[in-house]
Structure 1
């Protein structure tokens, strides 16, 4: 079973997807992969990365998005660290964001 990864960013203040937000995925080996959320706030384009078991970091660059849509950004970025396991299947890491708060969980 292969390992795959997706993400989804939702703006809880506006009740809409957070489009065009920059993301940086850092692999267990330290490789940095840049991506951007689409018009629906989703991202699953990781430059043909072959995911292996290990601890990853996903950085959501929230500042520009929050300033553009809310005029305030307490969080310039949000880092989420998570572990992918061998034969883990699909992983989904959503982020709920507002100018003064955020939340994440393992989605499906």
Structure 2
């Protein structure tokens, strides 16, 4: 099934990151980012439903903005303000209409890694 999903893992605490705010954008023909929707991760660090599914998935360049600073503020860590990572923007391209794109984020307050998952 075609679609776009994500997963956020908190490397500092070694568990899924719950209640991370995410914004999804798509670049238009003029390279402007157009807001599509927002969501929150659930207790498993995933979305309750795909960001995009079926006919919503179009070819092009997308961006997910992960609001990581807000998430780590809820964890009562001693981190100076503003946090080193406030928002993590991840840009990627959809090249297969019928493909499934899973964009996991592994994150700590000081670094992150992203990849195309399965």
TM-score normalised by the chain length of structure 2? 0.81
Matched, 1:14 2:19: no
Matched residue count: 107
1:66 to 72, 76, 87: 72
Which runs of 5 or more residues in structure 2 are unaligned?
29-33
Distance 2:40 2:105 in 1: 14
Aligned to 2:31: none
Return the alpha-carbon distance in structure 1 between the equivalents of residues 112 and 98 of structure 2.
26
Q: Which has the larger radius of gyration?
A: 2
- TM-align CA RMSD: 1.9
Q: How many Å separate the matches in 1 of 2:18 and 2:78?
A: 16
Match of 2:92 in 1: 82
Structure 1: state its 5+ residue gaps.
Answer: none
Following the alignment from structure 2 to structure 1, what is the Cα–Cα distance between the partners of residues 86 and 46? 19
